[in-house]
Amino acid sequence: MKESTNIFKALSDQNRLRILKMLQIKPLCVCEITEILQLAASTVSQHLSVLKKEGFILEDRDGKWVNYLINQRPGDQRISAVLSQLDFWIGDNQLIETDKQKVKLSDRYKVCGT
């Protein structure tokens, strides 16, 4: 018996919304997200695990990195509904606007490891 989770809870945190919008641009590893959000890596990891647990995103290990990406085939229809119209549900504000710019310019080989 699977208990019905409240998908809105996963979306109630502003930083998790920012992450979703960033992943809309392209898959990212934890250290790239950490760099952009200016949070501790452990905090970002937690947010990602919430989004993954709910089915919004998938992880894909690539060597020492873990890429996170939007889940294209979520089990839950409500999650599909949100993800397929992310711009409708989560409008851009200044913060998200600049996040997206940073994602476009982000290069893992420069951001990480230095």
Residues that bind DNA (CB under 7 A): 9, 12-13, 15, 29-32, 34, 38-50, 59, 61, 63-67, 112-113
For DNA, the closer CB: 63 or 77: 63
- Beta-carbon contacts of 103 under 8 Å, excluding residues fewer than 6 positions away, are 22, 25, 26, 28, 32, 36
- Quick one: which segment of 11-19, 32-40, 62-70, 104-112 binds its own copies (CB under 8 A)? 11-19
> Smallest gap, in angstroms, from Cβ of residue 38 to DNA?
7
d(CA 22, CA 24): 5
Quick one: tokens of 19? Answer: 């992450």
For its own copies, the closer CB: 81 or 105: 81
> Judged by CB under 8 A, which of 26, 53, 84, 89 binds its own copies?
89
DSSP codes of every residue in 2-41: -----HHHHTSSHHHHHHHHHHHH--EEHHHHHHHHT--H
* 60: phi then psi, degrees, rounded to nearest 5: -150, 100
Q: Which chain residues interact with its own copies by CB under 8 A? A: 4, 6, 8-9, 11-12, 14, 17, 77-78, 81, 88-89, 91, 93
